[in-house]
Amino acid sequence: MVPPMSTLNSLGFDKAPKATRIVVAMSGGVDSSVTAALLAEQGYDVVGITLQLYDHGAAVGRKGACCAGQDIYDAHRVAETIGIPHYVLDYESKFSQSVMDDFADSYLRGETPIPCVRCNQRVKFRDMLATAKDLGADALATGHYVRRVMGADGAELHRAVDDNRDQSYFLFTTTREQLDFLRFPLGGMSKPETRALAERFNLPVASKPDSQDICFVPNGDYASVVSKLRPGAIDAGDIVDKTGKVLGHHEGIIHFTVGQRRGINLSAREGENNEPLYVIRVAAEKKQVVVGPREDLAQLNVSLREINWLGGEVPQDGIDITVKLRSAQPPLPGRFTMKGSELGGGAVLTLHEPAFGVAPGQAGVIYQGDRVLGGGWIERLQA
């Protein structure tokens, strides 16, 4: 049995807040800043940590980024305002190897990567968590909008109260061991409530806009980033239909993702009607972008790899679930079935209704109600 939460401590520790050290991951944004200020106000022994993930100079003055330049400076100003120690750790090399290289290679395989998930998995919730333990912390707190709920078998990961801010999709790789050590104080709040707290605490970032783009991709220009990381790897090729007929040409597969409709440069389609065409497959090995009508995007079965599981035992015949196949799409009902006797062998999602625009490289995140059971990376599409 899991012991009940102590009345001494809002974070679940059986000791007073002043005797509980909490390391807060501070990105320089409003959410993590409020997290630090809120815990400090409650009397916790708070230490702020910011990771420098990429070159300072390239990021100075950029809006909507994190973990570099202005954002590190903002995190330091917040720490001074609330009176907590603050440390900056240089993780440029680790970030480049674990996140940026994977981002580039994924695109070159014809996938659509999610570097924020890889960053949480390989940097923030692994190395930063280890650093927090080295500092004698009882927990690592972040500004993510997600909830940690104690269940019969321990800590569970749940969706945030505010559906519009929920970030559980990006945290599906969180392990049980990590979840034991993590805390998410904002999971029960809305964004307006967080902004109001930032004003009340007089934080210098109270009016700072939210991050929008991937932190190391200026102005959303993925191609320029990949070309720098993998010089000469972005080659032109053909846009074809399912039969292989050439309909047009492209300047690199990186510019396309499954489900895309706009930006497809096609020649005249003689003898055909003018129904819209969508990217239905990116054939990286042939440098081809395959297009077709919307019905060709429909998928009832999706294969997942690298499964991370936070739920209980999975029956051999599977379990009923809902699944998110893109961060901005609503969950879809279906069934989750392991490919073999071990989750490491992957899994198959059987959807009750077809999904459109299922892209390899994105994640399939599994839910039962508000609880995150786990998820995996979309590997290949089945007919």
Yes or no: say if 370 and 158 are a contact pair by the CB < 8 Å rule: yes
Closest CA relative to residue 206, chosen from 64, 29, 383, 44:
29
* DSSP, res 289: E
Closest CA relative to residue 264, chosen from 275, 255, 254:
255
Yes or no: say if 264 and 272 are a contact pair by the CB < 8 Å rule: no
Long-range contacts formed by 106-110: CB under 8 A, 24+ apart:
106/361, 107/222, 107/226, 107/253, 107/254, 108/226, 108/230, 108/233, 108/234, 108/253, 108/254, 108/284, 109/284, 109/360, 109/361, 110/253, 110/281, 110/282, 110/283, 110/284, 110/360
Q: Among 66, 67, 116, 215, which one carries the catalytic annotation?
A: 215
Tokens standing for residue 247 = 């309909």
Nearest-5° Cα angle at 293, 291 to 294: 110
Q: Among 66, 67, 116, 119, which one carries the catalytic annotation?
A: 119
Closest CA relative to residue 258, chosen from 281, 276, 237, 239:
281
- Is residue 133 helix, strand or coil? helix
Whether 215 is a known active-site residue: answer yes
* Segment holding 75, helix H or strand E: helix 69-82
* Segment holding 363, helix H or strand E: strand 363-368
Closest CA relative to residue 129, chosen from 180, 80, 78, 168:
180
Angstrom distance (rounded) from CA 362 to CA 325: 7
Amino acid occupying residue 136:
G
One DSSP character per residue, 321-356 reads EEEESSTTSPPEEEEEEESSSSGGG-EEEEEEEEES
Active site residues: 119, 215
